[in-house]
Amino acid sequence: MASQAFEISSIPQVVRLFARSLQPTSIADYVALVIAAVIVAGYLTRGTLWDKPDPYYHIYFERPQQRDGVASSQAQAQRNIAKKLSETDKRAVIFWGSQSGTAERFANYLAKEVQSRFGLGAISADLSDYDSDSIAQLSGGQLAIFILSTYGEGDPSDNANGFWDWINNGSPDALPDLQYAAFGLGNSNYKYYNRVVDVVVEALKKKGATLLLPVGKADDAERSTDEDFLSWKDDLFAMFRNRLGMEEQVVEYQPTIVVTEDDSLTPIDLHHGEPTHSRDNPKAAASCSPIRPLSITNPRELFQSSERNCVHMELDLAEHPEIHYKTGDHLAVWPTNPESEVEILLTVLRLQDRQDIPISLKSVDAATKLQIPTPTTIRALFYRYLEICAPVSRSTIQGLATFAPSPDARLRVLKLGQDKDSYLSYLRKNHLTLGRLLKLASPDEPWAKLPLSYLMEALPLMQPRYYSISSSSVLSPRRAAITALVASDYVPENQEQKINGVTSNYLLALSQSYPATAAAEMQAEKSVRPQYDLFGPTNLLQGTKLFAHVRKSKFKLPIQSSCPIIMVAAGTGIAPFRAFIAERAKLHAIGKPIGEMILFFGCRRPQEDFIYREELEQAQAAVGRDVFKIITAFSRVQGQDKVYVQQRVREHGKQVVNLIEEKSASFYICGRASMAREVGFSLGETMKEIKGWSDSEVKSWGEGLKRTGKWKEDVWG
């Protein structure tokens, strides 16, 4: 007790001694105390005296129609699809999940046609615009149609992510009254061909929904997407007639867009073709930088060939501090249509003298979103807003008959549009764009009665093309390089006609225009390519620039530089690996440990299209051949058998598997989807050989690696 009393009585003295030790004894102490007091005061007054919440912050995330004092309950009602159908007196909703715009185009077209043919009012609905729960409120007299694309590793489109989460969760038997049809868009070169529509249909079945006809599926690998959709649409309409008892009407063209010329508008009021991100998909927009005009530097030709081109160029980010990229990200290039195709279309429509007249656009149906900026001009439409070089579907050709300038022209388009064999035969011998088709059908008389609204409904919107960035953000943070193979193929049965890739040839034209470069001189010796408007809308691109933005990617190096990496690429698929290898070589140069690297690379001939060969060999010499191995496959060497990268992966399969299994290596594939599929198959065969696994065990192993991020693919087509 005495000891405890002593300790208690000593406390005030200890406190005094402690306080005395905290008293400032110098100017530095006083300064420190002032700084500490300011920090504490700032922390305590945050949100009251400073850094107050912006009461209008929410406006950045609202749609324009929600800004004018619309109540929360009304906003929620706008996201209820059942209420939307009731308010607009519609009986059908066509939901679309689209990554490139094709599913959206089909949905818009179908909504219009079911109205004109069957009098069935329909809404084309972006899945992200409506709460998925409200689908359960659709009544028995209403119909849902799902048009869903699959991309990547069997993933849904960005605008379908919310619906995807909902459809794969929730209670069973939640949709007993739902009647629906479904069509999927996919590519059989990919491992998970049309997985999204398959998963959705299976989930809807479990929830008690009724599928009215077999699921339709498009296969872009066969270039038959439009034909597949037309075939399924015929089955859908047969179901309308035979099962639902609907009467089909004579189809007359009913525009969904009203186009009005308005001379009172001045150039400053107009949209001249500047690309913008869609406001309808916040998640997709969040993964992208702003779109800016970026200056091109250091363009050069990579192929040692007089017949083919491969362009390397760097985009200068220095003028745009808001744009950043990380190694492995994508750069999206917004192209323009070639001048020759624009001129053909303007001529056949007799619009040369009206191309700069201001026009205003308005949706006939308030439920239909207008996708093209307004007001604008015909010039902007044809150069930058519409894909006028896109293949023309038979359904579009059939619709042209109504506006034919002569009976002969009408017969010509009907023959192509109604006869599938004639259509396919023509495609084998001719490059078919809308302008060329109109000129062929009526070489002497212009299509003066063809409304602009029809073109805007029939042609897809211009979309950006994505390129894997081939530079390292560590070594070149303010310059993003891209590597583009210039696409140019002959028509199958006509070697006098070429089909030129719009964007890659645009990049080639830009590289040729770059002043005083050896690349420009080299390019000039090659074959003549399409010409483009390189100055852009209101001369925004003057000085060798292009519109572009950066999109985030998950195709990244391992966090630990000591982790081994295995890279498989063919052609320009080497682009991101150029960045990976350069970054690892730099780490090695400054004394950081790096893991073993193996590059499998395939091309035609070592002396012609082995791009970045010198850089790769220099990196190999710098880090050592025991650390970095290059394994090549050449498919066009005279006197030798064709060899592809998947064969090399099979030959070295045990080494690859050992690195993955024993050293936790990361496995990467970049290139065409068909190549990636074959590489996966080769690696699977190795696993069967080593471990005696079944197909299901190999599949489970591969999917496990992908889930953990140890197997990554960046593939296309």
Decide if 287 contacts 550 (C-beta within 8 A).
no
In the predicted model, is pLDDT for residue 2 greater than 60? no
Lowest mean pLDDT among 525-529, 581-585, 702-706: 525-529
Q: Supply 559's token pair.
A: 């966090």
Lowest mean pLDDT among 21-25, 201-205, 535-539: 21-25
In the predicted model, is pLDDT for residue 6 greater than 50? no
Q: How far apart, in whole angstroms, are the C-alpha atoms of residue 451 and residue 465?
A: 29
Cα 407 off chain centre by = 42
Per the prediction, the chain carries an average pLDDT of 88
Q: What is the CA radius of gyration of the chain?
A: 30
**pLDDT for res 221:** 84
For the segment 55-99, what is each residue's pLDDT rounded down to a tens digit? 443 433 344 434 444 444 445 557 899 999 999 889 999 999 988
Is the torsion defined by CA of 467, 653, 677, 643 positive or negative? positive
For the segment 333-355, what is each residue's pLDDT rounded down to a tens digit? 999 999 999 999 999 999 999 99
Neighbours of 35 (CB within 10 A): 10
Q: What is the DSSP letter of 461?
A: B
Element (H, E) at 343: helix 339-348
Element (H, E) at 592: none
For the segment 308-332, what is each residue's pLDDT rounded down to a tens digit? 999 999 999 999 999 999 999 999 9
In the predicted model, is pLDDT for residue 476 greater than 50? yes
| Contact residues for 447 (Cβ-Cβ < 8 A; gap 6+) | 348, 349, 350, 400, 403, 404, 405, 438
Q: At what angle do helices 225-242 and 102-118 cross, to 10 degrees?
A: 30
Lowest mean pLDDT among 117-131, 368-382, 516-530: 516-530
Q: What is the mean pLDDT of residues 280-297?
A: 84
Give the CA angle between residues 505, 508, 512 to the nearest 5°. Answer: 140
How confident is residue 519, by pLDDT bands cut at 50, 70 and 90? very low
pTM: 0.82
Q: What is the DSSP letter of 641?
A: -
Shortest CA distance to 462 belongs to which of 389, 400, 376?
Answer: 389
**pLDDT for res 59:** 39
How confident is residue 171, by pLDDT bands cut at 50, 70 and 90? confident
In the predicted model, is pLDDT for residue 630 greater than 80? yes
Stretch(es) of the chain classified as CATH 3.40.50.360: 75-244
Stretch(es) of the chain classified as CATH 3.40.50.80: 565-715
Residue type, 469: I
Q: Supply 536's token pair.
A: 């852009």
Domain 565-715 class, CATH top level: alpha beta
Decide if 681 contacts 699 (C-beta within 8 A).
no
**pLDDT for res 65:** 39
For the segment 225-253, what is each residue's pLDDT rounded down to a tens digit? 999 999 999 999 999 999 999 998 877 88
Q: What is the DSSP letter of 222?
A: G
**pLDDT for res 50:** 53
Decide if 468 contacts 714 (C-beta within 8 A).
yes
Q: What is the mean pLDDT of residues 364-392?
A: 91
How confident is residue 32, by pLDDT bands cut at 50, 70 and 90? low
The two most distant CA atoms of the chain are separated, in Å, by: 120
In the predicted model, is pLDDT for residue 17 greater than 70? no
Tell me the percentage of the chain whose pLDDT exceeds 70. Answer: 87
Q: Supply 609's token pair.
A: 């299209």
Tell me the percentage of the chain whose pLDDT exceeds 90. Answer: 69
Report helix, strand or coil for 107. helix
In the predicted model, is pLDDT for residue 521 greater than 70? no
Q: What is the DSSP letter of 521?
A: H
Residue type, 37: A
Tell me yes or no: is domain 75-244 CATH 3.40.50.360. yes
Q: What is the mean pLDDT of residues 184-203?
A: 92
Residue type, 541: L
Cα dist from 648 to 63, 644, 713, whole Å: 52, 7, 18
**pLDDT for res 210:** 94
Q: How far apart, in whole angstroms, are the C-alpha atoms of residue 492 and residue 572?
A: 24
Q: What is the mean pLDDT of residues 557-581?
A: 97
Q: Which residue has the higher pLDDT, 113 or 575?
A: 575
Bond preceding residue 375 cis, omega within 30 of 0: yes
**pLDDT for res 75:** 52
Shortest CA distance to 143 belongs to which of 248, 251, 236, 255?
Answer: 236
**pLDDT for res 44:** 62
How confident is residue 522, by pLDDT bands cut at 50, 70 and 90? very low
In the predicted model, is pLDDT for residue 298 greater than 60? yes
